[in-house]
């Protein structure tokens, strides 16, 4: 049983570009959340998707958008990249029933030059 | 606005001894608390959780204590093992916002032989 998978592992972009990160949830999970972890900090909640809709959103600008597909996989899109967007982006999946069963993927390391 | 704080960025402990990690929170609406463990190049792994209706939860070598009046929780690891060397994150959430976890900045634990 595969856990949460994310692609790509690493990514280098330049300021102003756009990026798409991908996540496949753990089997049986229907809810996907995205987090940003800057160096030396804890993960910060970006948003959560359930039933292909954004259910909750953290304090992130509209440059951050997402999508969930019918197979529950999800994408995180960031437009007009800034140097400050450099971080580890984590995807977590869970069944809708509870937060204590959130499973995290290994993350995508995004570097913006 | 950091609602979950881990004021000790690092902790060094001898193998076999007790590790005590502390976490403070400011939001009185938080009613569910979790600890995650993170190794380099991996996503956070769920360790143990506690509901606000309890003041203690135990799972093997891991025990979490919650003091609601002080808005403080702690994680005890007894006995500490070399494999426990990792970054530990405290997280909190409200019952009605499953998936929107608020994380502390983490504590790096090093277990020495």
pLDDT above 80: residue A97: no
SS3 assignment, position A103: strand
Residue numbers of A between 74 and 93 with CB closer than 8 Å to B: 90, 92
Residue extents of the structural domains in chain B? 4-112
CATH of domain B4-112: 2.60.40.10
- B interface with A, Cβ–Cβ < 8 A, is 4, 6, 32, 34, 36, 41-46, 49, 89, 91, 93, 97-106
Residue A28 sits in a domain whose CATH number is: 2.60.40.10
pLDDT above 90: residue A100: no
A13 Cβ contact list (under 8 Å, min separation 6): A19, A81, A110, A111, A112, A113
Distance, CA of B77 to CA of B7 (rounded, Å): 18
- The phi and psi torsions of B82 (rounded to 5 degrees) equal -55, -35
A31 burial level (CB within 10 Å; 0-12, 13-18, 19+):
buried
Looking at residue B100, its pLDDT comes to 87
pLDDT above 90: residue A1: no
Domain of residue A86, residue span: 5-112
Distance from CA of A2 to the nearest CA of B (A): 14
Mean pLDDT, chain A, whole residue set: 93
Please state the length of chain B: 113
| Cα distances (angstroms) measured from residue B20 to each of A32, B14, B51 | 32, 12, 19
Residues lower than pLDDT 70 in chain B:
98
pLDDT above 60: residue A69: yes
The count of domains in chain A is: 1
Looking at residue A102, its pLDDT comes to 83
pLDDT above 90: residue A95: no
Q: Give residue-wise pLDDT tens across range A2-29.
A: 799 999 999 999 999 999 999 999 998 9
Q: Give residue-wise pLDDT tens across range A42-53.
A: 999 999 998 899
């Amino acid at each position: 049983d595969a856990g949460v998978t994310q692609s790509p592992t690493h990514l280098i972009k330049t300021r102003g570009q756009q990026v798409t990160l991908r996540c496949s949830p753990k089997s049986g999970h229907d809810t996907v959340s995205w987090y940003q972890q800057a160096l030396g900090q804890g993960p910060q909640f970006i948003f959560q998707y359930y039933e292909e809709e954004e259910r909750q959103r953290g304090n992130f600008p509209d440059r951050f958008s997402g999508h969930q597909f019918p197979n529950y996989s999800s994408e995180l899109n960031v437009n007009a990249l800034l140097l400050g967007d450099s971080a580890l982006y984590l995807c977590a999946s869970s069944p809708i029933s509870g937060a204590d069963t959130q499973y995290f993927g290994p993350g995508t390391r995004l570097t913006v030059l | 606005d950091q609602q979950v704080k881990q004021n000790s960025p690092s902790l060094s402990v001898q193998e076999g001894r007790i590790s005590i990690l502390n976490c403070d929170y400011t939001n009185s609406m938080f009613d569910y608390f979790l600890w995650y463990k993170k190794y380099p190049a991996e996503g956070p792994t769920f360790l143990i959780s506690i509901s606000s209706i309890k003041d203690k939860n135990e799972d093997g070598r891991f025990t979490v204590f919650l003091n609601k009046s002080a808005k403080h929780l702690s994680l005890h690891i007894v006995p500490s093992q070399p494999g426990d060397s990792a970054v530990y994150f405290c997280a909190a959430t409200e019952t009605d916002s499953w998936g929107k976890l608020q994380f502390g900045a983490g504590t790096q634990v090093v277990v020495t032989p």
